[in-house]
Amino acid sequence: MTEITLADLQNSVRNTSVFNRLEDYCQLCQTFLELMQKMRLTPIVSPTNNDYVFYQYNEDYSYRITRPLNKNLFVDSKVEFMAAFQRFKSFLADLKQYQDTILDREEAKRYIETSEINRVVYTVQQSIGSIADSFENPNPSRKRVGQLFEALVKLIIKEVGLECEHRTISIPIPGYTGHKMSYELDLVFSRNKAIVATQTRFIHESEIVGSVKTTSKDRIDKIFLDKYLLTKLLGREVPVIAVFLHDVQRAKAGHSIFGVNSTFKSNHFIGYTVALNRLDGVYYVDLRPEMSANERLREQIKDFQTFLVQDLWRFSSR
């Protein structure tokens, strides 16, 4: 049997025909974690934030480094990850069955208290991102990494029994006959069978629009504007939520290349909320400390687990 290499994983990330099931994501992640051990990739703790580590590839990959990984979320052991993923899948099955009453079950409450949902999702997606970081030119793969995160969130929502799809709509501009605005919506989800497989219809009143991005950097303003314009053009309130993986990036710290910076712009977020509209929900897999410390941010921004366990059912019951 041929041993899988990092080049094989690079090809998997490029391949648009894979990743149709959660198990496909799991397989790639466990293989990457196993390869990390074989290649003896050593974690390098960031001097600017000790919660984040980098991994450096060997000479074959020009000593490139991964993106910063939150060591409180990233499960670097294949054995531990596989056990966590199986618990995650089992919980999703229970969530599909019990939906918004899941918190009435003691076993489920104990599982939720571990925050393992965030760790599994983070480990899976950041494994993909770390593989992309090994490319000679990682820039072309950034879009692919974002697409895979969007697809991952979509699969999770569908796994718990909701309808969920990517959709392109073309909305007529009131008062301007023949003029339309085209919108590509990352996700449209619903608890009911309201979704019709066509790109020409609009948004049903029972549906929620979701924007899914790996980071809010250079994107948060568009999400606020999308909600504002969709509501104006359709003449009714359109619920819009945002799901982000993280808001950190590499940064130089003196002579070190292993610094970490936040890309979250708290004042912009609050400004858009006041000047345009408040989003119906904002969720991070890797919450920034200021999101919990700041009262204005804390009431609007929650972790991904809260979305999946609580708010998803509140939104979809409309």
Q: At which of 157, 188, 206 does a domain end?
A: 157
**Tens of pLDDT along 140-176?**
788 999 999 999 999 999 999 999 999 999 898 888 9
Residue 153's pLDDT is 98
Q: Are residues 169 and 142 in the same domain?
A: no
The domain boundary, picked from 134, 157, 180, lies at 157
1 located within any domain: no
- Co-location of 171 and 152 in the same domain: no
Quote the tokens at residue 317: 């019951």
**147 and 168 in a common domain:** no
Using left for φ > 0, alpha for ψ between -120 and 50, and beta otherwise, residue 40 falls in left
Residue 278 in contact with residue 242, Cβ under 8 Å? no
CA distance 186 to 216: 14
Q: How many domains does the chain have?
A: 2
pLDDT for 198:
45
Residue 266 lies in a domain: yes
In a domain, 279, yes or no: yes
Same domain, 17 and 149: yes
- Quick check: 288 and 264 in contact, CB under 8 A? yes
199 in the same domain as 108: no
- In this structure, the answer to whether residues 151 and 195 fall within a common structural domain is no
- Please compute the mean of the pLDDT values over residues 53-63 and round it to a whole number: 92
Q: Mind listing the pLDDT tens digit for each residue in 290-314?
A: 999 999 999 999 999 999 999 999 8
Residues 177 and 140 in one domain: no
Q: Give yes or no: residues 96 and 195 share one domain.
A: no
Q: How far, CA to CA in Å, does 297 sit from each of 211, 288, 302, 308?
A: 18, 10, 9, 19
Angstrom CA distances, 274 to 33, 243, 270, stand at 43, 20, 6
The two beta strands, 240-244 and 281-284, are parallel
Same domain, 192 and 167: yes
What pLDDT digit, counting tens, does each position of 249-291 carry?
Answer: 999 887 788 999 999 999 999 999 999 999 999 999 999 999 9
Q: What domain range is 301 assigned to? A: 162-316
The model's pTM: 0.94
Cβ 25 vs Cβ 19: under 8 Å: yes
In this structure, is the dihedral angle defined by the CA atoms of residues 131, 137, 138 and 140, taken in order, positive or negative?
negative
d(CA 8, CA 294): 44
What is the SS3 assignment for 17?
A: coil
Q: Please report the pLDDT score of residue 199 as a whole number.
A: 41
Which residue in the block uniquely carries the two structure tokens 């400004």?
Answer: 271
Q: In angstroms, rounded to a whole number, what is the distance separating the alpha carbons of residues 285 and 6?
A: 26
- Closest of 130, 37, 41, 33 to residue 83, by C-alpha: 33
Q: How far apart are CA 40 and CA 299, in angstroms?
A: 42
166 shares a domain with 312: yes
User: Could you give the CA distance from residue 33 to residue 48 in angstroms, rounded to a whole number?
Assistant: 25
Residue 106 lies in a domain: yes
Domain stops at, among 157, 192, 214: 157
Same domain (yes/no): 213, 149: no
Q: Within this chain, do residues 140 and 243 fall inside the same structural domain, yes or no?
A: no
Residue 51 and residue 72 in contact, taking contact as beta carbons nearer than 8 Å: yes
